[in-house]
Structures are given as C-alpha cells and as structure tokens.
Amino acid sequence: MAQKSNCKTRHNTHKSYGRILMSNSLTSTHLTIIAIAAVTAGIGFFDYMIFVYLNDVLSELFFIGQSHDWFYEMQLIGLFVLSCLAMPLGGFLIGEYADDEGRKPAFGLSVMAMGVFTFIIGLLPTDAHIGVLASFLFILAKLGQGMAFGGLIPTIWVYLSERLPNKSLGLGLGVVTASSLFAVLLLLFLVLGLENYLSNDDIMLFGWRIPFLLGGAVCAVLYLFVRRFSETPVFLRLNTNHDDKALSIHTLENQNVTENSSKESISFYALIQKRLAIFLPAITLSWLTASLFVVLVILLPDLISTNFILDESVLNLGVIIGITFMIIGCVVYGFMADFANTAQVMLFGGIFFILQILLFFGHLTGGGELILVFFALLGFSSGIMAVAPMIIIRLFPTRIRATYTCVVYNIAFALISTLLPFILGFVSFYFRLMPAMYLVLAVGATVFISFYAYHIPQIKNDNYTD
C-alpha cells in the first residue's frame, strides 16, 4: 500500500513538473528572472573589469614599493595566474556544485562570492599602509573574485536555458549578454566621472574604492533576489528519476553519454577522447565570444590609436557608439534565434560580421571620414556573440551541463584575455591589419561550425515533456 502511495506521489510530482515545463510563453516570473539574471551578469562584468580601467591607479597603490621592472613582471605573472587558473578553477568547482546540488544554489554562491571578494578589494589597505603585504592581499582577493566570476556567467546561461520557455531562450541570453556590455559602458562612464570630478589625490585616497564598494553592495542586493528563485524544472526532473532527455550532439550519434547512472563514471578525459565532436564546437563558440569581447571592447581603442591616424575624441566617441550598437545587436540576434534555426542565424550573422570588419578596417585605412557609421555597423554585427551560448549549452547533457559549460567557456576566456593582448599588440606593430585578420579567422571558424550545429534539433529540448 505504501509502495502504491509512493508511486502515486511520484506520478503527481512528475505531472506538476510537466505543467511547469510545458509553459511556452513568457510570464511575469520569467521576465523577473531575465531581469535579475541580466543585472547579475552585468554587475559581474562590472566588478571584474574595474581592474582593467583602474589598472594604473591600483598598480601605484599596491605595487608602489616595487621597482619598475619587477612591477611589470609581477603584473604579467599575476594576470596570467588570475586569468588562467582562477577562472577555470572557479568555473569547474561552481559547475560541479551546480550539477550536484542544483542550479539555484550555484547561482547564489557565485553572486555572493563575487560580491564578497569585490567588497574586500574595496576595503583593502594599500602599500602605503602595510607595505608588500598589501600586494599579497590584493592578489588573493583578485584570485577569489576571478574564481567567483568563472562560475557566474556560465551558471546564468544554464539556469536560463532550463528555466525559460524554449521560444524565449534567445531573447533571455541576448538580454544577459547585452547587460554585460552595458555594465562595461557604465563602468567606463563612472571612471571618467571620477577623473573629471575628483582630483588625482582624492582618487588615490578614496575614489578608487567607490567602484569596488558599489559593485559589492549591488551583488549583496542581487543575492537576496536570487535566493527567492526556484530550482530549474529540468534539474528537479533529473533528481526524480526522469529519463535524461538532454539535447546534445549525442542525439545524432544515437547514443547518450549518460548511459551510466553515476556522474563519476563520466571522466573529463573520456569525454575529450570519445566526444571531440562536442568539445570542438563548444570551444570554438567560446573562443568567438571571448574574442569579440576582448578585441572590440577592450583592445580596439589602443590598436587603432597605435596603428592608424584618428582623432582621439572621434575614437572615444566611436568606441561608445560601437558598444551601444553591440548591446542592441545582442538583443536583436537573440530575438532572431528564437524564430529561426540558431545555426542559420549564426551562419548569416557571421558572414555579415566578416563583411563589416573588412569594411571597417578598409575605411579606416582610407582615411575614416565616416568611421562613426562603421563603428555602429561593426558593433551591431558583433551582437552575433549572443547566439553562441544557445548552442554551447545544448551540446552537453543535463547531468554534466553546468560543469563542462563552465570549463569550456572559462578556458577560452582566460586564454584569450591573457595572451591575445600581447600577441595582437606585438604583431600589429608590423602588420596593422592583424586585428581584422584575427577576427575574420575567429568568426570564419564559427561559420563552419554553424554548418555542423545546424543538425542539432532546434525545438525539442529538455525544457519540455512528451
């Protein structure tokens, strides 16, 4: 009798999950989730990018006692370690936690950790107070922040992919990507405001702390909202012994990586060895996302000013216009991906971007009278980066989705953000069109991947029941 009652309870539970999963339209709850996820992703990029925009100030505050050569050596090693170790390590740990304990607690953990470490940096004593110990504490806090950031963005992707209706996933991810770019734009304006309204002494005394304390405080508020989220129906279904119908490339091979019931049986080495077809498109798409962000948002102004003749005020305005249209492009491309095959959007969007990058640098070489227009077109076309997460998260089955999405994304982002500035800076000194050639290569590889991704089923995924 008890067994019959348990079966009935399990059946009712499955039916309730099914009703949740069958929702095919955006509700106020979905819109709230998108809004909170977007602001969270934005503040994550805001916190992480403060070091980039206040690099000179922070270097003087925390490494003032070091010699010039030692400072740059320490900076390079620190950037390499923080990017190549902290982000992938943090992504792996938080991704594992998300696959074991749930998407919601991992989401909350990454937000809370991001806020705590950012706030700590804002409260740190400087080299003038405690000497070289300040450098050590700063590196530790930046390491913790990097680990938290490594789990934040992929966890948001996974949470949205399992919580939103299938026909609204592209819009959700597009808004999240756009919010990340918008936060960088806000940070740029905040830093410019500090430089304009505060003296250099005031910035060195307390002004540099404002972005860190602001970012940490916003993370604390967002954590309270994330705590109120419910777990994704997909993860709940997985833990109530539903069949794992995760949409992945395994569908095409007529076999599932999750044939073994225990997660431990799926080793990282075995997946790479036997399922290279999964990791190759995932890494390529992650490479695209990281490259577009690093080159167009961070490196492009310096690359242009170093290798081309363009008025500084025009360049600064063009960068702002480019990022603004990037934001618009992310939302538009995400919206388009909801009503067309994602791979087709990636294919035609990639071709359009390649055309724009060639026109942009061609016009720049010829004098650049209409360069602001081409900044806008280039920015809009780079919104194709918002489509990449839709394909990446569908390549891995539910049981290991968060872990491997985090690992693949963070390896690509860490390597690109660490090595690419030095490589492009060096090669561009001899061949000034190298940034254009690099972006054409990155997007061109993604165009070829889109042919492969075209065969991934588009509509039926694990957000729905039979």
| 114-151 per-position pLDDT tens digit | 999 999 999 988 877 787 788 888 888 888 998 999 99
pLDDT value at position 73? 53
- 74 burial (CB, 10 Å; 0-12 / 13-18 / 19+) is middle
- 258 confidence band (pLDDT: 50, 70, 90): very low
Q: Could you tell me if residue 12 is inside a domain? A: no
- 165's tokens: 């209706």
**Domain shared by 286 and 384, yes or no:** yes
Give the DSSP H/E element, type plus range, for residue 230.
none
HEC string of 400-429?
HHHHHHHHHHHHHHHHHHHHHHHHHHHHHC
**Domain shared by 406 and 341, yes or no:** yes
Q: How far is CA 415 from CA 80, 84, 85, 423, in A?
A: 8, 6, 10, 11
**Domain shared by 175 and 322, yes or no:** no
pLDDT value at position 328? 95
Q: Could you tell me if residue 465 is inside a domain? A: no
pLDDT value at 264 more than 50: no
* Dist. CA 382–CA 315, nearest whole Å: 18
The residue from 173, 206, 238 where one domain ends is 238
Q: Which CATH number does the domain housing residue 43 bear?
A: 1.20.1250.20
* Dist. CA 133–CA 327, nearest whole Å: 40
The residue from 193, 212, 238 where one domain ends is 238
pLDDT value at position 274? 59
Rounded to 10 deg, the angle between the 103-123 and 133-163 helix axes is 150
Q: Could you tell me if residue 461 is inside a domain? A: no
- Residue the block writes with tokens 């010039």: 68
pLDDT value at 386 more than 80: yes
**Domain shared by 79 and 214, yes or no:** yes
Q: Among 382, 39, 378, 323, which residue's Cα sits nearest to residue 185?
A: 323
pLDDT value at position 78? 60
**Domain shared by 197 and 255, yes or no:** no
Exposure string of 96-116, with b = 16+ CB inside 10 Å and e = fewer, is bbbbeebbbbbbbbbbbbbbb
- 26's tokens: 């955006």
**Domain shared by 368 and 406, yes or no:** yes
Q: Could you tell me if residue 463 is inside a domain? A: no
Most distant CA pair in the chain, distance: 84
**Domain shared by 233 and 335, yes or no:** no
The residue from 210, 238, 266 where one domain ends is 238
User: What pTM does this model have?
Assistant: 0.82
**Domain shared by 213 and 294, yes or no:** no
The mean-pLDDT minimum among 88-92, 279-283, 461-465 falls in: 461-465
Q: Among 210, 453, 235, which residue's Cα sits nearest to residue 337?
A: 453
**Domain shared by 34 and 168, yes or no:** yes
**Domain shared by 289 and 188, yes or no:** no
Exposure string of 442-462, with b = 16+ CB inside 10 Å and e = fewer, is bbebbbebbebbeebebeebb
- Residue the block writes with tokens 């008025």: 311
| 306-332 per-position pLDDT tens digit | 888 778 888 889 899 999 999 999 999
Q: Could you tell me if residue 460 is inside a domain? A: no
Q: Could you tell me if residue 6 is inside a domain? A: no
Overall number of domains in the chain: 2
**Domain shared by 195 and 261, yes or no:** no
pLDDT value at position 313? 84
**Domain shared by 379 and 276, yes or no:** yes
Q: Domain range holding 360?
A: 250-453
Q: Among 170, 217, 91, 235, which residue's Cα sits nearest to residue 388?
A: 170
pLDDT value at 77 more than 70: no
pLDDT value at position 1? 46
Give the DSSP H/E element, type plus range, for residue 256.
none
Q: Could you tell me if residue 15 is inside a domain? A: no
* Dist. CA 354–CA 383, nearest whole Å: 13
Q: Could you tell me if residue 217 is inside a domain? A: yes
